[in-house]
Amino acid sequence: MQGSLRYLGGLEGFLARLRSGLAELGCEASVAAAPTPRAALWLARGRGEALEDLPLGVASGDPLLKSLGLRTIGELLALPRDGLAKRCGQRLLDDLDRALGVLPEPRQFFLPPASFDATLELPGAVENAEGVLFAGRRLLTQLSGLLTARQAGVRRIVFRLLQHKKQTDIEIHFSSATRDTQRFTRLLQEKLSSVSLRQPVEAIRLEAADFAPLHERSAGLFGDARADDEDWAQLLERLQARLGAGTIHGLATQPDHRPEYAWRRVEPGEWDPREFRQPGPRPIWLFDPPRKITNQDFHLLVGPERIECGWWDGDEAKRDYFIARADEGLIQGSFVWIFREHDGWFMHGIFA
């Protein structure tokens, strides 16, 4: 770390940031710094300032040393080396050497795990959504930290509310891989607003797996179209979280002569205009299913357009379509699209 100390704001600055970050996560920690890793570990365990003043317990639990009347590491270091090696083993000697920096101690870089699963007990049973959100934010911050360390993002997280006798699961999907705490919190808030907590929540659990690589994006110099796409995706995501699944969709055409099959719901944006072949006149509003006409009079204007197909998938249509004008009723004077099948008349759409 020595090389980056100035960038990190000096040792004091770095330690302050570390402490505040840990406080945000809700952890208590004792922090120590030393020239070697093992010395730092012992100093943190013993909460001391100097290596010599640390109690023996941080280095070894050997009862022999205690019976010899030794209390601190300083006293241990004063003993002759061969005697110590013979009585307590070479390992203790090696550990002391590593702490002093005489022996090297290469350590492996800590690799953050590839999935996240953490549970947080709530201090008292929480009955409202805001309380759950407040506690949930802590877990979300932890997840975000892990993802940052791995330079990754997630598209799906599961938030479980552990209640006395049951468990409520909230699944949140994101339109794009993300590790943004604000985005996590915003969507969780939307989802929580639609969940009714019948029983108070005792603990919460956050699970996330399937990390996908996500690198930092440097901001474009000129307001970019990609930011717009990102905003659009996030808007749709936010609407869907509150309104429910299936409430947002895009439209696409399909090459089928049967009007009800000539279109389908898709994810917004999925349509290839090259696939579209213009049919005859079609109404802007379609009634699904077609409305049976019982006692209304229509004036037939254009037609018939015979549509006969679908014998291959069991939904055969043999219809004569007409453009008509309603003679009476609520839509008197409007242009409608009606058809005759067998001997029934149906209204399939209205030309708005």
Partner 1 sequence: MAALELLLQSNSVWRGAAPARFSATVSTGYAALDRELPGAGWPTGALTEILGSQEGIGELQLALPALARLSAAGERVVWLAPPHLPYAPALAAAGVDLARLAVVRAPGRRDALWAAEQVLRAGPCRALLAWFRHARYEELRRLAVAAEASRACVLLFRPLEASSEPSPACLRLALEARGGELSVRIVKRRGQPAAAPLALTVPRPVHALGRPAFPRTAPGRAREPGRLGLPVHA
Which x/- pattern over 53-82 shows residues binding partner 1 (rule: CB under 8 A)?
------------------------------
State which of positions 86-125 bind partner 1 (CB under 8 A).
none
Binder to partner 1 among 283, 340, 341, 346 (CB under 8 A)? 283
Long-range interactions of 211-217: CB distance < 8 A, separation 24+: 211/114, 211/115, 211/147, 211/150, 211/152, 211/153, 211/154, 212/152, 212/153, 212/154, 212/155, 212/177, 213/151, 213/152, 213/153, 214/147, 214/151, 214/152, 214/153, 214/177, 214/178, 214/179, 215/151, 216/151
Instruction: Kindly state the tokens that stand for 324.
Output: 């008509």
Residue 220 within binding range of partner 1, rule CB under 8 A: no
Q: How far is the CB of 302 from partner 1 (least distance, A)?
A: 4
Site for partner 1 in 290-319 (CB under 8 A): 301-303
Indicate the residue among 72 and 178 with the shorter CB distance to partner 1.
178
Tell me the closest approach of the beta carbon of residue 45 to partner 1, in angstroms: 52
The three-class DSSP label of residue 10 is: helix
What is the per-residue binding string for partner 1 in 171-210, x denoting contact by CB under 8 A? Answer: ----------------------------------------
Which residue matches tokens 């409608």? Answer: 336
- Give residues 24-53 in contact with partner 1 (rule: CB under 8 A): none
Return the residue matching tokens 């690799």: 111
Q: Which stretch binds partner 1 (CB under 8 A): 59-67, 89-97, 130-138, 328-336?
A: 328-336
Contacts 24+ apart (CB under 8 A), 226-234: 230/176, 233/175, 233/176, 234/175, 234/183
Separation CA 295–CA 316 (nearest Å): 26
Binding segment (CB under 8 A) for partner 1, from list 4-12, 75-83, 109-117, 282-290: 282-290
Pick between residue 10 and residue 250 the one whose CB is nearest to partner 1.
250
Residue 149 to residues 145, 206, 262, Cα–Cα distance (Å): 6, 18, 48
**Three-state SS at 55:** strand
Q: How far apart, in Å, do the first and last CA atoms of the chain sit? A: 70
Q: Verify binding: residue 162, partner 1, rule CB under 8 A.
A: no
Least distance (Å) between residue 346 CB and partner 1 = 15
Q: Rank residues 74 and 279 by Cβ distance to partner 1 and give the closer one.
A: 279
**Which of 168, 186, 335, 341 forms a contact with partner 1 (CB under 8 A)?**
335
Q: Tell me if 236 contacts partner 1 by CB under 8 A.
A: yes
The reply to whether 231 sits near partner 1 by the rule CB under 8 A is yes
- The footprint of partner 1 on this chain (CB under 8 A) covers a number of residues equal to 58
Q: Does 346 bind partner 1 (CB under 8 A)?
A: no
Report residue 195 CA to chain centroid gap.
18
323 lies in the binding site for partner 1 (CB under 8 A): yes
Angle at 100 (CA atoms; ends 99, 101), nearest 5 degrees:
90
Structure tokens at 48: 């001391």
How far is 313 from 316, CA to CA, in rounded Å?
7
Q: Does 276 bind partner 1 (CB under 8 A)?
A: yes
Q: Amino acid identity of 237?
A: E
Question: Which residues make up the interface to partner 1 (CB under 8 A)?
Answer: 228-229, 231-232, 234-236, 238-239, 242-244, 247-253, 259, 262-264, 268-271, 273, 276-288, 301-303, 323, 326, 330-337, 349-352
